[in-house]
Amino acid sequence: MKIICSDKAPEALGPYSQAVQIGFTLCISGQIAINRETGEMVQSSIEAETEQVMANIEAILEEAGYGFRNVCKTTIYATDINDFAAINGVYGKYFKTEPPARSFVQVAALPKGARVEIETIASK
């Protein structure tokens, strides 16, 4: 088991790792829209929030030597199911061909007032 920590993604908010690699499988903890440089949440729009989430995931993937092409499963948590289309619009730009398996779940609340959180599993 190898702990993955990117200095280009936000630090963990609690007792967990950004990601854990076991063999060829990389499990990335749920990412919210914290900008690593400012430490602030990006919340100007659901699209901007989702872009920051995807940038955080990308930084962790790259730190481990993976890319979006290696992502096999994601789970999206959103506080409003009505944001489904807007989140999909941003998310889809990262998976133009052969998108991964995915779940999309509405939840009551997310850390730091986030409206979207995405967890990711990748494999080589």
User: What per-residue confidence (pLDDT) applies to 13?
Assistant: 85
User: What per-residue confidence (pLDDT) applies to 15?
Assistant: 94
Give the number of domains in the chain: 1
Average pLDDT over every residue of 9-25: 95
Chain center to CA of 110:
13
Provide the domain limits for residue 78.
2-123
More confident site: 27 or 11 = 27
Contact 101, 72 (CB under 8 A): yes
pLDDT digits (tens, 9 = 90+) for 28-55: 999 999 999 999 999 999 999 999 999 9
CA distances from 122 to 5, 12, 48, 74 (A): 15, 19, 24, 9
CATH number at residue 103: 3.30.1330.40
